[in-house]
């Protein structure tokens, strides 16, 4: 274990992003955390590993550095990394047994919905999907078998905001854990554990990696019992990231704060511009005053994030045409990189949700989702204008 030379807990977010978990290497002073490309470690005697490391599925020093960094950013006691965000979701669900129940938001990442319905329902775990902006609905869905209340805020792609503290109270009253997928907000904008959540999940592939060059995931939390249970499944199932992936995410988290500031600024400008555009029927951005949970977003988040969704008046045809014609916004799935991306959720990221369920959740065919990057905002707005013309 490396010992930080100063009171790391008292430091500001920007400082911890660069230093937490990353003391210069004890062996040779390397300032950047080395990429420990090794599967195994020399033991001094049988079953007596030297530095606590035995085998890299179980643990690896580059991964440890990232786990400590993420724990610090989320104000958590521990962090645990996985080969993808969905591998982290899988580890959570591995704790459950047939008959267990999960209450989840009805506007989730498509892959989360898919692992719930198409993988874990087959093992006898049951799921209820509710609009988590409505507390009474969430309360009514909880049963004595409910183990998790699983939410996203802001949601993907409609960017509605759920009251994390209220959800924590409902989950705890029912004897369940509150899990918050904090991928869209990032710990820079929102720290769910400080609002009462038990576990935070991340797709590190998005803003934390920040450069669209790595797939990785994480869970963070405070409870030591949950940590050891989840670490068992992390090692037993084996969905762990390689050291290079961990290095790339560590490089990303160092600049998270400055990147997020610019993502938020640009997204606000783009949202305001779209709001006044004749071809746009509706804009979804929590930073806009007409957003139904704007006040809650203001209370719960430091800023409103880099994701903007909007509905074009011309429906699916107009959405597809717009997404095909942009030149700076690349037509692609994923989000959270420095470059701007555009996609049409109903034919892309959310296509795995049956059309009837999609419509019930308010996902209209004319929906376009933007991951607003950190290019100059005037260029981004000009690109959208020419694509909608």
Ligand X SMILES: *Cc1c(COP(=O)(O)O)cnc(C)c1O
Positions annotated as catalytic residues are 57, 109, 181, 206
Is position 152 an interface residue for ligand X (rule: CB under 6 A)? yes
Nearest distance from residue 206's CB to ligand X, in Å? 5
Nearest distance from residue 108's CB to ligand X, in Å? 7
Is position 162 an interface residue for ligand X (rule: CB under 6 A)? no
Considering only 113-121, 179-187, 303-311, 371-379, which stretch makes contact with ligand X by CB under 6 A? 179-187
Number of residues that bind ligand X (CB under 6 A): 16
Three-class DSSP category at 355: helix
| Helical axes 85-94 vs 224-237, angle rounded to 10° | 110
Is position 112 an interface residue for ligand X (rule: CB under 6 A)? yes
Kindly identify the residues of this chain, within the stretch 58-97, that bind ligand X according to CB under 6 A: 84-86
Strand runs labelled E in 235-286? 280-284
Residues 6+ apart with CB under 8 A from 184: 152, 153, 154, 155, 156, 159, 206, 207, 305, 307, 335
Q: Which residue is nearest to ligand X (CB)?
A: 85
> Of 318 and 323, which CB lies nearer to ligand X in the complex structure?
323
Kindly identify the residues of this chain, within the stretch 220-259, that bind ligand X according to CB under 6 A: none
Ramachandran bin of 209, using left for φ above 0, alpha for ψ from -120 to 50, beta for the remaining angles: alpha
Chosen residue from 4, 34, 49, 111 binding ligand X by CB under 6 A: 111
Is position 300 an interface residue for ligand X (rule: CB under 6 A)? no
Q: Is residue 78 within 8 Å of residue 200, measured between CB atoms?
A: no
Cis peptide before 339 (omega within 30 of 0): no
Kindly identify the residues of this chain, within the stretch 198-217, that bind ligand X according to CB under 6 A: 203, 205-206, 215, 217
Kindly identify the residues of this chain, within the stretch 323-342, that bind ligand X according to CB under 6 A: none
Is position 147 an interface residue for ligand X (rule: CB under 6 A)? no
Distance between CA atoms of residues 149 and 165, nearest Å: 12
| Helical axes 377-388 vs 256-275, angle rounded to 10° | 40
Q: Which residues bind ligand X (CB under 6 A)?
A: 84-86, 109, 111-112, 152, 156, 181, 183-184, 203, 205-206, 215, 217
């Amino acid at each position: 274990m490396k010992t930080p030379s100063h009171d790391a807990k008292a430091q500001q977010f920007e400082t911890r992003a660069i230093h937490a978990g990353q003391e210069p290497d004890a062996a040779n002073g390397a300032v950047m955390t080395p990429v420990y490309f090794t599967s195994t470690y020399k033991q001094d005697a049988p079953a007596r590993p030297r530095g606590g490391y035995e085998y890299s599925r179980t643990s690896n020093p580059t991964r440890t550095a990232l786990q400590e960094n993420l724990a610090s950013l989320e104000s958590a006691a521990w962090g645990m990394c996985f080969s993808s965000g969905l591998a982290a979701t899988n580890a959570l669900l591995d704790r459950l047994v047939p008959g267990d129940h999960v209450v989840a938001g009805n506007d989730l990442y498509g892959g989360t919905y898919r692992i719930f319905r198409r993988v874990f329902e087959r093992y006898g775990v049951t799921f209820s999907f509710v609009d988590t902006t409505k507390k009474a609905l969430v309360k009514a869905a909880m049963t004595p078998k409910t183990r998790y209340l699983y939410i996203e805020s802001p949601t993907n792609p409609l960017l509605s905001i759920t009251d994390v503290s209220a959800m924590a109270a409902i989950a705890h009253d029912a004897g369940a854990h509150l899990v918050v997928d904090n991928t869209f907000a990032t710990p820079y904008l929102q720290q769910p554990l400080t609002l009462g959540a038990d576990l935070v999940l991340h797709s590190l592939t998005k803003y934390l990696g920040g450069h669209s060059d790595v797939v990785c995931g994480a869970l963070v939390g405070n409870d030591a019992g949950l940590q050891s249970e989840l670490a068992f499944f992390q090692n037993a199932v084996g969905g762990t990231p390689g050291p290079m992936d961990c290095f790339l995410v560590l490089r990303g988290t160092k600049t998270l704060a400055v990147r997020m500031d610019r993502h938020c600024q640009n997204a606000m400008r783009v949202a305001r511009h779209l709001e006044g555009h004749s071809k746009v029927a509706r804009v979804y951005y929590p930073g806009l005053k007409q957003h139904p949970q704007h006040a809650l977003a203001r209370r719960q988040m430091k800023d409103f994030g880099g994701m903007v969704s909007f509905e074009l008046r011309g429906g699916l045809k107009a959405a597809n045409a717009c997404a095909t014609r942009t030149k700076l916004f690349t037509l692609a799935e994923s989000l959270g990189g420095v470059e701007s991306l555009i996609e049409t959720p109903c034919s892309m990221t959310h296509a795995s949700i049956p059309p009837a369920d999609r419509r019930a959740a308010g996902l209209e065919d004319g929906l376009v989702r933007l991951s607003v990057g950190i290019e100059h905002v005037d260029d981004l707005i000009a690109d959208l204008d020419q694509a909608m013309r």
